[in-house]
Amino acid sequence: MEFEHNYDFYLLLDAVLNEPHKVKDIVVSNRAILDAENLSGENVLSWLALENHVEGVCLLRTLGSKIQQFTLCEAIQMGNTEMVILLLELGADIEAEITSCRSAIENKIFNLSSKKKRLIRRYFIQYGHEI
């Protein structure tokens, strides 16, 4: 069963990256494919978010894909400011991630520039949260 679940992840990912015009039909024929995960526990939307693939994230979200809890925090860690604002706009659960997001923005390991930190903080303020 896990192989099939993993296969569905790669099937959907390949379609989003190479044949986005087919994605809607794939999802309509198998809604569960939106929940398929890779071995790291990421659904396709989360994987695309970490890769900063804006079009793919938008496509999957319009088809009903969930934004997994860790996705927003990981976008901050990667310094993907465009993806952070997109995830906020698409309804990422800020409340569930606020503590992790605060930690991510200040963690020296991720080496975010002062400019990126300011931008991300402003994005959160626009949605009523301070980090």
**Tens of pLDDT along 58-80?**
999 999 999 999 999 999 999 99
CA 122 to chain centre: 19
Q: Model-level pTM greater than 0.95?
A: no
Spans of all domains in the chain: 1-65, 69-131
The mean pLDDT value for 30-57 works out to 97
- Band the pLDDT of 1: cuts 50, 70, 90: very low
pLDDT at 73: 96
CA pair distance 110, 91, nearest whole angstrom: 24
* ∠ Cα 81 86 90 (to 5°): 150
- Band the pLDDT of 5: cuts 50, 70, 90: low
Average pLDDT of the chain to the nearest whole number: 94
- Band the pLDDT of 4: cuts 50, 70, 90: low
127: Cβ contacts below 8 Å, ≥ 6 apart? 88, 94
In one-letter notation, the amino acid at residue 13 is L
